[in-house]
């Protein structure tokens, strides 16, 4: 992912960006040191309590008015619907990834990818409690989301 984003930045003449591959939970960032942040399919691997820490850490590292783009797994239904919806999610994945990739996901993950996947209403609360404003929200099927968050100006 880092190599791909570096290539993309180079192709577009972006020279003032820093890229980092670190564990979200142990980030050490200076207050107000970031203009923007991007997270792609990483947060669903950690429990909600630690997600809150990540959002708060990034919030304090971002300058007022900065943007945070987040794309990740998020259940777009209520917790009570989980067991009923898992076969639908699997069918969605199969149609999205194709038979071969689907078989790999099914064999490798065996449902483990859902362990820390948040429900949208919980994620929304974590984001709000951290101080961000949700600028854009786009659900992707039953278990995906794209968000554009903003750290409000002072």
Element (H, E) at 95: helix 82-109
pLDDT in tens, 109-152: 655 567 788 999 999 999 999 999 999 999 998 889 999 999 99
Tokens representing 35 are 């203009």
Polymer length of the chain: 154
End-to-end CA distance of the chain: 33
SS3 label, residue 77:
coil
Query: Is this model's pTM higher than 0.85 or not?
Result: no
pLDDT in tens, 4-37: 888 888 998 988 888 877 777 777 888 988 998 8
Which tops the pLDDT comparison, 36 or 105?
36
Element (H, E) at 61: helix 48-61
């Amino acid at each position: 992912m880092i190599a791909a984003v570096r290539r993309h930045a180079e192709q577009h003449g972006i020279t003032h960006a820093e890229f980092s591959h670190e564990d979200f939970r142990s980030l050490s960032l200076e207050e107000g040191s970031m203009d923007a942040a991007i997270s792609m399919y990483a947060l669903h691997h950690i429990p909600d309590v630690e997600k809150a820490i990540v959002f708060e850490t990034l919030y304090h590292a971002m300058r007022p008015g900065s943007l945070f783009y987040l794309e990740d797994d998020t259940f777009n239904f209520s917790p009570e619907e989980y067991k009923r919806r898992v076969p639908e999610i699997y069918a969605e994945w199969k149609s999205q990834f194709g038979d071969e990739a689907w078989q790999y996901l099914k064999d490798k993950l065996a449902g483990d990818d859902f362990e820390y996947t948040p429900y949208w209403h919980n994620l929304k609360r974590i984001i709000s409690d951290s101080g961000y404003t949700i600028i854009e929200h786009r659900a992707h099927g039953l278990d995906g989301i794209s968000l554009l968050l903003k750290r409000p100006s002072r």
